[in-house]
Structure 1
Amino acid sequence: MKIRVATYNIHKGVSTIRSTPRVVALKKAIAQFEADIVFLQEVQGRHDRFHGKYGTTSHGEHHHWPERSQHEFFCGDSRHEHSAYGMNAVYDHGHHGNALLSSFPIDKSHNHDVSDHAYEQRGILHCVVNNGGVAIHCFVVHLGLFEAGRGRQNQALIDCVNASAPNGEPVIIAGDFNDWRNTLSDRLRTALGVVEVFDELGTRSKIGDLVRGLARREKPLAPARTFPAALPWFRLDRIYVRGFKVETAQVLHGTLWAKLSDHAPIVASLKLA
């Protein structure tokens, strides 16, 4: 069984330049992933401020801001017939959180509040996706901006996975970890038996270097650079998997992605082990 997955922080559907609405363009861009499951962060379940205003596609076409929540709008007329949303941050004109879009049925979903303090609401959305009778545990993650809090949220993620998938079931954890110093990965690998999608690809590359006699010492495993999208430098976005072989993984770069959000998306092809 092969599946294609993607993770993307969509910046609430508003561009980083002049706060231009980009919801229609984002829907078209998400379709380009050709992904069976899409993990989204900063998705607006409600935004009263933009209702009745116009958004602009990458082709210059104008469209009204959708009345539906963003995850429902993205699912409409697309390959993703199923979606789930976890509300995290609530404000006067709306709310936003994490969402999962899926081509496969979502048997159940639950949002775990992992907010570390009152000024920064964060959550982990857990969904069980049914792919032909195989239950895949999907966790959409958006961790905080402060390192100490991220450590506690990382432990909450570990506890959540161990409680819901304790017997080695297939797991995909994806999202914005804000882990710019890469301090969380080793703990996740040890506690959950997961690999980050670029781990295996990097290992293959290092083996090739050793065979050619080019490597002098083993380099630490590192996720891909995804932020800021226009010139990625920080390694904030991740896809961790258990029970899958990673066939391909890539960060999508270019003018389109730089206009849509401050994060670049990651797309990976997986095969059930």
Structure 2
Amino acid sequence: MKIRVATYNIHKGVSYRSHPRVHALRNAIEAFHADLIFLQEVQGQHDRIEALYGDEQHGHRNWPKKAQHEFFAGESHQSVYGLNAQYDHGHHGNALLSKYPIEKWSNTDISDHAYEARGILHSIVQTPDTTVHCYVIHLGLFERSRVRQVEALIEAVRHSAPNGEPVIIAGDFNDWRNTLSAKLRKALGVVEVFDDVGSGSSLGDLVRTLARRETAIRPARTFPAALPFFRLDRIYVRGFRVESAEVLHGSMWARLSDHAPIVANLKLVS
């Protein structure tokens, strides 16, 4: 079985000047042609932007009445949303869009301090061949916070998928110095998609894969989207072979968010 996945920090669906981008984002997300889409900074509600761009004069063209995760899901995907940050005029968090049935989901608060609300959105997805555990993550801006949040992520995966079940962990890790990958690999048996692209079952492939794992993983550059330099966004998998992975670059993506999206094609390991 093959699964196409994507991860994308959508910057709340607005530009830095608070101009709405939700319709263009929905078109872009549809263009992923992905079965599973891991989204960060998704707004479930934003009264100020809706009041400005979603009034009767605009015919609701610029800011939909639906929550963003429901709007992006459309008719083709199911969606779940984990509220992390709440404020007077709305709230935002992580979301998962899935072409497969979502049997169960939960959102765990892993906020490390009062100024950054963070969570782990865990969804149990039933594909035609197997159950897949999906975790949407957006870690904090401070390294000490990220270390503690990754420890919470490891504990969450160990508790919810303890028997080696297929796992996909994706999101904005803010891990620009790449200090967390080795811990995740060792604790959970995951690989990052750009470390594992094209790895196969031959002896030569195995030797090359093991050699790569003795060195630091080099995730893709995804931030800022206009000229990516920092390696912030990741997709970690267990129980899958990575057939391809790419960062989507170009002027269109630079206009939509400050992060560039990652798309990967996976094959279930039988």
> TM-score, normalised to structure 1's length?
0.89
Q: What pairs up with 1:256-271 in 2 under 5 angstroms?
A: 256-271=252-267
Aligned position for 1:88: 84
Aligned position for 1:21: 20
RMSD, matched Cα = 2.0
Letter in 1 for 2:34: A
Aligned position for 1:10: 10
Q: Distance in 2 between matches of 1:271 and 1:15?
A: 35
Match of 2:122 among 111, 126, 140: 126
CA drift of 1:53 comes to 3.7
Letter in 1 for 2:71: F
Instruction: Say yes or no: does 1:73 pair with 2:45.
Output: no
Q: Distance in 2 between matches of 1:52 and 1:5?
A: 34
Letter in 1 for 2:88: D
User: Residues 112 and 125 of structure 1 are in contact (CA less than 8 Å); yes or no, is this contact kept in structure 2?
Assistant: yes
CA drift of 1:11 comes to 0.2
Q: Distance in 2 between matches of 1:251 and 1:263?
A: 10
User: Residues 247 and 262 of structure 2 are in contact (CA less than 8 Å); yes or no, is this contact kept in structure 1?
Assistant: yes
Instruction: Say yes or no: does 1:187 pair with 2:183.
Output: yes
**TM-superposition CA deviations, 1:62-111 (whole Å, max 9, x none):** 9230111000111124x21x110000000010000000000000000000
Q: What SS does structure 1 have at the residue aligned with 2:107?
A: strand
CA drift of 1:133 comes to 5.1
Q: Distance in 2 between matches of 1:203 and 1:228?
A: 29
Q: What pairs up with 1:82-161 in 2 under 5 angstroms?
A: 82-132=78-128, 134-161=130-157
CA drift of 1:50 comes to 1.5
Q: Distance in 2 between matches of 1:108 and 1:270?
A: 22
Aligned position for 1:58: none
Letter in 1 for 2:4: R
Q: What SS does structure 1 have at the residue aligned with 2:61?
A: strand
Residues 202, 227 of structure 1: alpha-carbon distance in 2 compared, 3 angstrom cutoff: farther
User: Alignment length, in residue pairs?
Assistant: 256
CA drift of 1:52 comes to 4.4
CA drift of 1:41 comes to 0.2
Instruction: Say yes or no: does 1:243 pair with 2:243.
Output: no
Q: Distance in 2 between matches of 1:178 and 1:203?
A: 26
User: Residues 124 and 157 of structure 1 are in contact (CA less than 8 Å); yes or no, is this contact kept in structure 2?
Assistant: yes
CA drift of 1:9 comes to 0.2
Q: What SS does structure 1 have at the residue aligned with 2:45?
A: strand
Instruction: Say yes or no: does 1:222 pair with 2:231.
Output: no
User: Residues 199 and 241 of structure 2 are in contact (CA less than 8 Å); yes or no, is this contact kept in structure 1?
Assistant: no
Identity %: 69
Instruction: Say yes or no: does 1:197 pair with 2:196.
Output: no
Q: What SS does structure 2 have at the residue aligned with 1:25?
A: helix
Q: Distance in 1 between matches of 2:216 and 2:121?
A: 29
User: Residues 22 and 62 of structure 2 are in contact (CA less than 8 Å); yes or no, is this contact kept in structure 1?
Assistant: no
Q: Distance in 2 between matches of 1:30 and 1:203?
A: 27
User: Residues 158 and 188 of structure 2 are in contact (CA less than 8 Å); yes or no, is this contact kept in structure 1?
Assistant: yes
CA drift of 1:235 comes to 0.3
Q: Distance in 1 between matches of 2:215 and 2:195?
A: 11
Q: Distance in 2 between matches of 1:9 and 1:63?
A: 23
CA drift of 1:151 comes to 0.1
User: Residues 53 and 64 of structure 1 are in contact (CA less than 8 Å); yes or no, is this contact kept in structure 2?
Assistant: no
Q: Distance in 1 between matches of 2:244 and 2:63?
A: 35
User: Residues 121 and 136 of structure 2 are in contact (CA less than 8 Å); yes or no, is this contact kept in structure 1?
Assistant: yes
